[in-house]
Amino acid sequence: HAFWAVIPAAGVGRRMGADRPKQYLELAGRTVLEYTLNIFIRHPRITGLAVAIGAEDPWFPELSIRTDKPMLVVHGGEERCHSVLNALRALEGQVSDDDWMLVHDAARPCLGREDLDRLLETLEHDPVGGLLAVPVSDTLKRGDADGRVEQTVDRSGLWRAFTPQMFRYRALMRALQTALAEGATVTDDASAMERAGHAPRLVEGSPSNIKITSPADLALAGFLLERDRA
């Protein structure tokens, strides 16, 4: 079955607070989104890409992206999950029900080749699919309304959910549609699959695959990209 990259890139980057969405900020001469797209463009096992961008996005056409692979560009929606669904709908007819969708945040430009390879190799014969994730390493506290520790939370078995998250086309589309129709909060693709009764596999990835959220993340991402280029 084919592997497709699905890239939600329609967020506004409110927490970053920059003059444009964070996926269009530059790190060493390239935008975050160019780094992210190139990871999948360069990977030989990725057949094509579907990218969801904002409805009024003057930045995407200015990117310099060269690829022979099919790349569909669609408008995103209100929340990340709507953007993913719009991208999936655009692939209808081009993919088969059991093709793999690798949904990856535009804001994670530091995804490494080793992580992507491990994800594909671990899951390509899996019935459900799964996601890159990292075991929680900090001690966790539950706080009360006064900001005092109520409890130390046992971190064993707890993971941070990263992307790509890799699921089969029809199953993912159904899971997202059902979750949204039922009014569920869907912050990642795996949670929609979980609601549908599936148990996604956790594939341990590198903690360097950060999501750029606030200005401090941008500096760290710049460092990581320079390091990997060297």
Query: Which residues are at the interface with ligand CTP (CB under 6 A)?
Result: 8-15, 21, 23, 52, 76-80, 83, 105-107, 211, 213
Minimum CB separation of residue 230 from ligand CTP in Å reads 26
Nearest to ligand CTP of 13, 205 (CB atom)? 13
Burial class (CB in 10 A: 0-12, 13-18, 19+), 69: middle
Minimum CB separation of residue 74 from ligand CTP in Å reads 10
Nearest to ligand CTP of 13, 164 (CB atom)? 13
Minimum CB separation of residue 208 from ligand CTP in Å reads 17
Residue 12 interaction partner, one of ligand CTP, Mg ion, none, beta carbon < 5-8 Å per kind: ligand CTP
Nearest to ligand CTP of 45, 211 (CB atom)? 211
Minimum CB separation of residue 57 from ligand CTP in Å reads 11
Residue nearest to ligand CTP (CB): 11
Residue 85 interaction partner, one of ligand CTP, Mg ion, none, beta carbon < 5-8 Å per kind: none
Sole residue written with tokens 């596999």 = 201
Give the binding range for Mg ion (CB under 5 A) out of 6-14, 50-58, 89-97, 147-155.
Answer: 6-14
Nearest to ligand CTP of 83, 222 (CB atom)? 83
Minimum CB separation of residue 127 from ligand CTP in Å reads 27
Nearest to ligand CTP of 72, 152 (CB atom)? 72
Angle between helix axes 169-181 and 80-91 (nearest 10 degrees) is 140
Amino acid at 33: L
Minimum CB separation of residue 89 from ligand CTP in Å reads 14
Residues forming beta bridges with residue 76, ordered by sequence position? none
Residues at the interface with Mg ion (CB under 5 A): 11
